[in-house]
Amino acid sequence: MDLRLRDTVVLVTGASRGLGAAIALALAAEGAYVVAAARSRDGLREVAAEGGGRITPIAADMRDEAEVAALPGQVVARHGRIDGLINNAGIAPAGKFADQDPAVWKDTLAVNVIAPMLLAQAAGRHMIAQGGGRIVNVASTTGVRGKPMLVGYSASKGAVIRMTEALAAEWAAKNVQVNAIAPGAFSTEAQKAVLESPDLLRRRVARIPAGRMAEPQELVPLACLLVSPLSSFTTGATFVVDGGESGKL
């Protein structure tokens, strides 16, 4: 199936590794022009080198509101438009809620909620002016069902899902579609501690009906479809990709 992504322009955050890198490379393979944003300059260079000349790396810190708000404008300055935004960057500090410093929450909300809001706002203005576009927010299954030791992260991803729904309703008439993906357990660097511990891995996999963790490439087709013009009547939805874990009683 042709996803009609050739020569479209997509901004992907958190694109130096893991899910973001896999999505950026897949979009480039589909013929899109991708602007990959993240803090790691080295990681971005590696991803861009694999992108066949279709990936432009831009180093940006999601905690820096000025840098974040400027990203969509940089995309438009380079390519003349912005057709898609994938808000993938995020952090997930773990800890006992009773002992957690409020500064940890503020940092989590800055990266996981405020940055996607600023990006959606800035990109959305361009999308509305050009006649449409698509925004995909990468949330988490912890935003659907809260998880112990990740209270702040769960709260932030729950906020992302609600923002997705409300913004989708507000911008549907502007031909801007807004959807979310809620991944479960994926084999990425974010799960390094689990992957390197046979006991932790065994216990983690035991909670997944599919009996395994997913690979980043298993999220890629959905992300590409949601940023494609083919998804023009799909908006306000959250797609859970977790091997059946959140649906298990």
Q: What is the pLDDT of residue 249?
A: 56
> Per the domain annotation, does 200 fall within a domain?
no
* Helix locations, 51-197, DSSP H: 65-79, 102-109, 115-130, 151-171, 192-195
Q: Walk along the chain (249 residues) and give the pLDDT tens digit of each residue.
A: 899 999 999 999 999 999 999 999 999 999 999 999 999 999 999 999 999 999 999 999 999 999 999 999 999 999 999 999 999 999 999 999 999 999 999 999 999 999 999 999 999 999 999 999 999 999 999 999 999 999 999 999 999 999 999 999 999 999 999 999 999 999 888 787 878 888 888 999 999 999 999 999 999 999 999 999 999 999 999 999 999 999 875
Q: What is the pLDDT of residue 247?
A: 84
Cβ–Cβ contacts within 10 Å for residue 152, how many? 23
Main-chain phi, psi angles of 81, to 5 degrees: -165, 170
> Per the domain annotation, does 126 fall within a domain?
yes
Per-residue pLDDT tens digits for 47-78:
999 999 999 999 999 999 999 999 999 999 99
Q: Which of 35, 112, 139, 153 is catalytic?
A: 153
- Alpha-carbon dihedral sign for residues 129, 222, 154, 190: negative
Q: What is the pLDDT of residue 194?
A: 79
Q: Domain holding 39: CATH number?
A: 3.40.50.720
Number of domains in the chain: 1
> Per the domain annotation, does 194 fall within a domain?
no
Considering only CA atoms, which of 157, 170, 237, 219 is closest in space to residue 12?
219
Cβ neighbors of 193 (< 8 A, separation 6 or more) are: 200
> Per the domain annotation, does 93 fall within a domain?
yes
Structural domain range at position 151: 9-183+219-237
Average pLDDT, the chain: 96
Paired residues of 10 in beta bridges: 34, 84
Cβ neighbors of 76 (< 8 A, separation 6 or more) are: 82, 126
> Per the domain annotation, does 192 fall within a domain?
no
Residue 158 to residues 107, 109, 145: CA-CA distances in angstroms? 16, 11, 8
> Per the domain annotation, does 197 fall within a domain?
no
Query: Listing from the earlier edge strand, what are the strands of the sheet with 133-138?
Result: 55-59, 33-38, 9-13, 84-87, 133-138, 176-183, 238-241
DSSP string spanning 229-245?
GGGTT--S-EEEESTTS
Per-residue pLDDT tens digits for 112-139:
999 999 999 999 999 999 999 999 999 9
> Per the domain annotation, does 1 fall within a domain?
no
> Per the domain annotation, does 111 fall within a domain?
yes
Q: Does residue 153 have an active-site annotation?
A: yes
DSSP 8-state code for residue 168: H
Q: Which amino acid is at 208?
A: I
Q: What is the pLDDT of residue 73?
A: 98
